[in-house]
Amino acid sequence: MTTQNEPSQTSKTFSFTPKIEIKALEVLQKYPEDWQASAVMPLLDLAQRQNGGWLSQAAIEYVANRLSMPLIRVYEVASFYTMYNLKPIGEHHIEVCTNLPCWLRGSDQLVQACEDFLGIKSGQTTDDGKFTMSEVECLGACVNAPMMQINDDYYEDLNVDATIKILSKLKAGSKPKTGSQSGRRSCEPATGLTSLLHQKKLLDKQHNKGKG
Amino acid sequence: MVKLTIDQKEYEIDAEMSVLQACEQAGIEIPRFCYHERLSIAGNCRMCLVAMKNSPKPVASCTMPVADGMVISTNSPEVQKMRRSVMEFLLINHPLDCPICDQGGECDLQDQAMAYGWDGSRFQENKRAVKDKEFGPLVKTIMTRCIHCTRCVRFASEIAGVPELGLVGRGENVEIATYVEQALTSELSGNMIDLCPVGALTNKPYAFHARSWELKKTESVDVMDAIGSNIRIDTRGSKVMRILPRINELVNEEWISDKSRFACDGLSRQRLDNPYLRRNGRLVKVTWEEAFNAIALATKRVNGDEIAAIAGDLADCEAMTALKDLMSALGSPNIDCRQDGAHLDASVRSSYIFNSTISGIDRASALLLVGTDPRSEAPVLNARIRKRWALGSFAIGSIGCDNQLSYPVTFLGDTPKVLEELNKGKHSFSKTLIDAERPMIILGQGALARPDGATILFRSRQIAEKYGAVNNNWNGFNILHKAAARVGGLDLGFVPQDGGLNVTNIIEGARNGSVKIVYLLGADEINTSNLGKAFVIYQGHHGDVGANRADVILPGAAYTEKNATYVNTEGRVQLSQLATFPPGEAREDWTIIRALSEVLGHTLPFDNLRQLRARMLEINSIFLNIDQVAPAVWKRFGSSGRLENSQIKCGHSNFYMTDPISRASETMAQCTDTFLRTNQGKTGTDG
């Protein structure tokens, strides 16, 4: 039986912090007065960020009141998109892609590695509240498969060792290097450039600029 | 107009139509689940797919507008295969529980599966099951049966104006739900049961009581409010099993209120099925003869003007005609049908009817509500106002009622002072009324049933005239009644005759002894404890407050048990039909009065319904035009005087219990409990 993923109740009231409020106003400015409801998705996102990665009832109700929308309309949006979490979530949300290209490149082992390292199953949160792990559908980085997303960052070209290294760093509180873990630049061929060789200098320059 | 070809035939169709509507006009049936004429278009069930030439894919005909030169095919093997496939998908998660499903026999899914589906399924996986939702005491949910057409969601947000339902989740996990489980707070929620094309939303009180094919269907009219909604009464044997709406575009479209639909269980509880006579302070069962003789004895001792009669809110025109004639034969001018003491003027018809007509709301351009809460007094009419509001540029102001309606209303104040300001053009709402091409005023009973009611009526007429609400093409002056009997009573002149007493004076007279006999024709909304020592005759169908005080009880018929005439708030004359016979010794009301008249020695000159209706026509020719509204002539009415500075009260304190039938209904008691007492906490006597 499916059970409705109702948002968890918290006694806490919710309102945007001054810092988030500035961002919210920026979003709201984009829409005409009578069409403020269009801001529902960015506002839910801001609320989720402020609320530690998930949307509580209070947060959903705050956004609804803010946009003069019926509660159910906001809840429909929040329950439809998988990027909104309706249950408390760990500090680091590890989302391992297990769709076909990643799977062919060994995503099963990544899932196993994560589960072993964290001592939880997919969909669970560690006792210390640091990690939540889930399997997700394609995140659109197939060229660098297998990959996973942790909060806002992509980690690509993974293998078991690289995965454990990333998780260890996060556990220790430091920030691992994002992007490809095999050393390749972006989604260039794994064995180095095979075309556009005459523009290598330009590409290097652009790449370094992007880094800065 | 555009030309298009449907199934090899050419049609000329209005360019604003969809392909589905075009096919309907051409007389071709297109199966559908999510599409509904009165709701916005969703296009999510895919059952209405048709083939269109030059389109690589089939098109959903409900969302596709017609265009010149279109070539549509609705019956090719390709289309038939598409329908079979859609049906297969729809049935993937649908349980095969038709034999125990209340929708069985009147289910769109069942019918269309037979007509357009096929007999197999290739689905091997587990069917999903969905947790049932708690929608309150009226709507039962079996959510596993839901096919996610979202008709209920659209009805709640668009028609009822309570956006509480939604489609949450996605894909396999999608569900119809409320935000954090709660009962639906709409007084129109029962209509979702009719809209649901499957058995996901069903009638809770009716659950497992009957199958649709064993019911006898009788077309009739509703009396739970003054709208006169057209209904179908479904009976089995002598019991009313359920009530459904009938379509009447001019009155209720295809909606009825929850009270109209669900109060029918009150018809078989608390019934008066035998004449009673009070002997030594206690009511005892007697025969009709004994009851009539007791009345004859009482009337012999008094003069005609010491007798009075009050007609109640559910009285039919036939009974009122008979009673009026009987009273005048007895020499009594003391008759009144305005139980609540409303200052309605029976001599000017345009002063007491809904002149614009209900469908006229669609044409109004601004609205002023005075002392009325249409949401509780007439939910169906309220939905009509909401429909007009949803079309845009429709300002609504309210005097007296600041209850939440299903559309935004500007609250102008709660005393009649606002009327004076509007009259002088000083109020901020004046400009709205001036700018409106067809302004509309709806005057409720709350404004009229007060000492200065006649003055409010007068002022409202002045406002209507001042702001151009009344002219040759438009009459925006409207009275919204609460009682189904009221307009009929006024049309029949069931009001004090020359020198007669009105309701207030009758009760006062009974209290101080100058009125010795009071005949209550289903009058239960008066304060019966003030009737003093008067001899009270109660004729009605329920053991309510009136019967409690009575010295003689004459058991009558409820609205489902007689062929009777009712006039709705618009002045539309409508006929009810006998669906079941009155219980026990109870009889149709006019026949009781006719029989009584003989015992009293004033035999009324009608022996059958035809003769009685001829008499009604003599009194007022409007009874000639059944189902029609004759425009009423605009005249002067109301009386100038001082307005009191007290608050105008409006609406019903409890929408679910307003008359003897709904007060006897268990379902309505549950609703009262669920919707009105949630915040008050339970007392020790609760369950």
The pLDDT of residue B687: 42
Residue pLDDT, tens place only, B67-77: 999 999 999 99
Question: Does the distance separating the beta carbons of B177 and A4 come in below 8 Å?
Answer: yes
Q: Please, what CATH class does the domain formed by A18-80 belong to?
A: mainly alpha
**Residue-averaged pLDDT of chain A:** 91
Q: Confidence class of residue A1 from pLDDT cuts 50, 70 and 90?
A: low
pLDDT over 90 (residue B684):
no
Which of B128, B178, B179 is the closest to A2 by Cβ?
B128
Residues of chain B contacting A80 with CB distance shorter than 8 Å: 168-170
Res A209: pLDDT: 75
Residues of B in contact with A79 (CB under 8 A): 168-170
- Chain A residues in contact with B180 by the CB 8 A cut-off are 6-7, 57, 71
Q: Which CATH superfamily is domain A92-180 in?
A: Glutaredoxin (3.40.30.10)
Beta bridge partners of B378: none
B-chain residues near A72 (CB < 8 A): 163-166, 168, 177-179
Amino acid (1-letter code) at residue B656: Y
What pLDDT score does A186 carry? 85
- The tokens for B665 are 């209904």
Closest Cβ opposite residue B130 in set A1, A57, A79: A1
Determine the pLDDT at residue A198.
86
Q: Residue B337 pLDDT more than 50?
A: yes
- Looking at residue B678, its pLDDT comes to 58
Query: What confidence tens digit (pLDDT) does each residue in A15-38 have?
Result: 999 999 999 999 999 999 989 999
Domain spans, chain A: 18-80, 92-180
Chain B contacts to A (CB-CB under 8 A):
128-131, 157, 163-170, 172-173, 175, 177-180
- Enumerate residues 6+ apart whose C-beta is below 8 A from B318: B562, B564, B565, B588, B589, B590, B609, B612, B613, B616
Intrachain domains A18-80 and A92-180 with the same fold: no
Which of A77, A70, A47 shows the shortest CA–CA distance to A59? Answer: A47
Tell me if A75 and B173 make a contact (CB, 8 A cut-off).
no
3-class DSSP assignment, residue B680: coil
Model pLDDT for residues B95-104, shown as the tens digit of each residue: 999 999 999 9
Give the per-residue pLDDT at A2. 55
Q: A82: which strand partners?
A: none
User: Which among B521, B586, B595 has a CA at the least distance from the CA of B560?
Assistant: B586
With beta carbons less than 8 A apart as the criterion, state whether B525 and B485 touch: no
Burial state string for B266-290 with b = 16 or more CB within 10 A and e = fewer than 16: bbeebbbebbbbbeeeebeebebee
Q: Helices then strands (H, E): number in chain A?
A: 8, 5
Average confidence score pLDDT of chain B: 94
pLDDT of A3 above 60 = no
Q: What is the ipTM of this complex?
A: 0.87
Q: Do A5 and B169 touch (CB under 8 A)?
A: yes
Tokens of A140: 């659109």
Contacts of B57 (CB under 8 A, 6+ apart): none
Judge: A5–B130 Cβ closer than 8 Å, yes or no: no
pLDDT given at position B481: 97
- Secondary structure class of B619 (helix, strand, coil): helix
Residues in A whose CB is inside 8 Å of some CB of B read 1-7, 57, 70-73, 75-76, 79-82
What is the average pLDDT across B670-676? 91
Q: Using CA of residue B161, residue B165, residue B168, residue B173, what is the dihedral sign? A: negative
A9 pLDDT higher than 80? no
Q: Which positions ≥6 away from B305 have C-beta within 8 Å?
A: B331, B332, B333, B334, B499
- pLDDT of B683 higher than 60: no
The answer to whether residue A10 scores a pLDDT higher than 70 is: no
Question: What are the tens digits of pLDDT across the range B178-212?
Answer: 987 777 889 999 999 999 999 999 999 999 999 99
The residue in chain A having the minimum alpha-carbon distance to the alpha carbon of residue B167 is A76
The pLDDT of residue B303 is 94
pLDDT attached to residue A96: 96
- Place A207 in a pLDDT band, splitting at 50, 70 and 90: confident
Question: Residues B228-247: what's their mean pLDDT?
Answer: 96
Please say if the pLDDT value at position B685 is more than 60. no
What are the structure tokens assigned to B612, written together? Answer: 């009685």
Taking only the tens place, the pLDDT of each residue in B470-505 is 999 999 999 999 999 999 999 999 999 999 999 999
* Chain A residues in contact with B130 (beta carbon < 8 A): 1-2
- Chain A CA closest to residue B129: A1
